[in-house]
């Protein structure tokens, strides 16, 4: 392997790492924007509950965030959701996620 080839490979590796880092930073900024929007749509108690749910069930919390943003974008959410309303929403979305498995012995 020539020195030029080694330098080229090293440069490609560094550029790829920089690109990955930039993508991760952009993703983190997008998640922060989403959190800021959702936080503005919830009362402080509801926000704290959602963050606790996120620790245990990140998929469910993400579904709730997406749902809330969709409601807000459509103009159907004009006030902050309370903790009780968030509980109801969490229950309904978690029921959708549950699947019933029937095992039959043949």
86/98 Cα distance (integer angstroms)? 18
* pLDDT per residue as tens digits for the range 48-61: 999 999 999 999 99
* 3-96: CATH, from 1.10.10.10, 3.30.160.110, 1.20.120.350, 1.10.8.140: 1.10.8.140
This model's pTM is above 0.95 = no
pLDDT at 12: 92
What are the backbone angles phi and psi of residue 93, rounded to the nearest 5°? Answer: -75, -35
Domain boundaries, the chain: 3-96
CB contact at 8 A, 97 and 59: yes
CB atoms within 10 A of CB 38: 21
The DSSP secondary-structure symbol of 76 reads: -
Quickly tell me which residue has 């997008």 as its tokens: 30
Q: 7-41: per-residue pLDDT in tens?
A: 899 999 999 999 999 999 999 999 999 999 999 99
């Amino acid at each position: 392997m020539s020195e030029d080839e080694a330098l080229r490979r090293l440069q490609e590796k560094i550029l790829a790492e920089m690109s990955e880092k930039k993508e991760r930073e952009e993703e983190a900024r997008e998640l922060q924007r989403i959190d800021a929007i959702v936080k503005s749509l919830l009362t402080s108690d509801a926000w704290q509950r959602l963050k606790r749910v996120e620790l245990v069930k990140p998929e469910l919390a993400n579904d709730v965030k997406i749902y809330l943003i969709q409601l807000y974008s459509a103009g159907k959410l004009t006030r902050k959701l309370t903790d009780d309303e968030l509980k109801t929403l969490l229950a309904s979305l978690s029921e959708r996620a549950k699947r019933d498995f029937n095992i039959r012995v043949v």
